[in-house]
Amino acid sequence: MGLFERLLSVWVGLGIFAGVGLGLWVPGLFQSVASLEFAHVNLVVAAFIW
């Protein structure tokens, strides 16, 4: 197993921490991204799922 796989839980934790921190630091950016909807579907989430 490579380094990335062995430390996957650390990367996930850092990603969560960064997301919460950025949400607290620049909430307007995240509110504007959250408002990008079409037919009650968030366009950013739809793009990542697609």
Residue 29: CB atoms within 10 Å: 11
Q: How confident is the model at residue 34 (pLDDT cuts 50, 70, 90)?
A: confident
Rounded Cα–Cα distance for residues 18 and 9 (Å): 14
- Please spell the DSSP secondary structure of 14-50, one letter per residue: HHHHHHHHHHHH-HHHHHHHHT-EETTEEHHHHHHH-
Rounded to two decimals, the pTM is: 0.65
Q: Which two tokens stand for residue 30?
A: 């995240």
Q: Which pLDDT tens digit goes with each residue over 12-33?
A: 999 999 999 999 999 999 899 8
In 3D space, the residue among 26, 50, 46 whose CA is nearest the CA of residue 37 turns out to be 46
